[in-house]
Amino acid sequence: MPPRVVVIGPPGAGKTTIGTLVARRLGTEFRDTDTDIERAAGKPITDIFVDDGEPAFRALERDAVAAALAEHDGVLALGGGAVVAPENRALLAGHVVVFLDVGLADAVSRVGMNRDRPLLLESPRAQLKRLLDERRPVYAEAATVTVDTAGRDPEDIADEVVEHVR
Ligand SMILES: Nc1ncnc2c1ncn2[C@@H]1O[C@H](COP(=O)(O)OP(=O)(O)OP(=O)(O)O)[C@@H](O)[C@H]1O
Ligand SMILES: O=C(O)C1=C[C@@H](O)[C@@H](O)[C@H](O)C1
Ligand SMILES: [Mg+2]
């Protein structure tokens, strides 16, 4: 069975937060490809970027996305950059895919001072703006529905996602 829903969006969109709530409501498991990659590599994503480089990370990510889409029948969150790879977008065809959209101000405040995001280590606001500008059309195209998260609490967003899944 395919995932009930695949959650995509930029860092700070709330994929982990909302995905966990949605999984609980559907009585199913939550899985996150970032966590799968860290387990496979035996180290945090930041260390993979530093030790092995982003291309090596993206190769691990393609394997993780393919495996999770084939194996997981619950709620699946993809890493923020997974949809940039055409291979991953092709694999999403036919799935229920929710894009959690977020504006720059909310993304910046949600990502905050957290140092776990290697692409946002320097000038997080400028980097997030670039990511959002470049990727927003890609997320929207890969998704079956876009859910706006601006100024909404996670429970309310999870309700909308569950409605879309059912
Ligand atoms: N709708 C929301 N309103 C306010 N805060 C939120 C909302 N959604 C998530 N957050 C907070 O924003 C932070 C980032 O959320 P989360 O980790 O779920 O995002 P993510 O999309 O999984 O990010 P990443 O791509 O880095 O994994 C967390 O501290 C979370 O509590
Ligand atoms: O937006 C991105 O490109 C990334 C997002 C995270 O989920 C991780 O997959 C990694 O930090 C890269
Ligand atoms: Mg997350």
How do residues 49-107 score in pLDDT, each as one tens digit?
999 999 999 999 999 999 999 999 999 999 999 999 999 999 999 999 999 999 999 99
> So what's the pLDDT on residue 114?
63
Alpha helices in the chain (DSSP H): 15-26, 33-41, 45-52, 54-71, 86-92, 104-111, 124-142, 154-165
The answer, yes or no, to whether any atom of ligand 1 lies below 6 A from the CB of 35, is no
| Residue 84 exposed, middle or buried by CB count within 10 Å (0-12, 13-18, 19+) | middle
The answer, yes or no, to whether any atom of ligand 1 lies below 6 A from the CB of 157, is yes
Find the domain containing 114 and state its range: 5-165
Give the closest ligand to the alpha carbon of residue 31: 3
Q: What is the mean pLDDT of the chain?
A: 94
ipTM beyond 0.90? Answer: yes
> So what's the pLDDT on residue 140?
98
Q: Kindly report the CATH number assigned to the domain that includes residue 147.
A: 3.40.50.300
> So what's the pLDDT on residue 116?
73
Task: Give the position, in ligand 1's atom list, of the atom nearest the Cα of 80.
Answer: 25
> So what's the pLDDT on residue 117?
78
* Residue 124, amino acid: P
CB 16 within 8 A of CB 107: no
The answer, yes or no, to whether any atom of ligand 2 lies below 6 A from the CB of 119, is yes
Q: How far is the CA of 153 from the centre of ligand 2 (A)?
A: 23
Residue of the nearest CA to atom 7 in ligand 2?
Answer: 79
State yes or no: 34 annotated in a binding site. yes
The total number of structural domains that make up the chain:
1
CB 85 within 8 A of CB 59: no
State yes or no: 13 annotated in a binding site. yes
- Other Cβ atoms closer than 10 A to 166: 8
> So what's the pLDDT on residue 113?
56
The answer, yes or no, to whether any atom of ligand 2 lies below 6 A from the CB of 118, is yes
Give the closest ligand to the alpha carbon of residue 33: 2
> So what's the pLDDT on residue 77?
98
> If you write DSSP's letter for every residue of 70-95 in order, what string do you get?
HH--SEEEPPTTGGGSHHHHHHHTTS
Q: How confident is the model at residue 163 (pLDDT cuts 50, 70, 90)?
A: very high
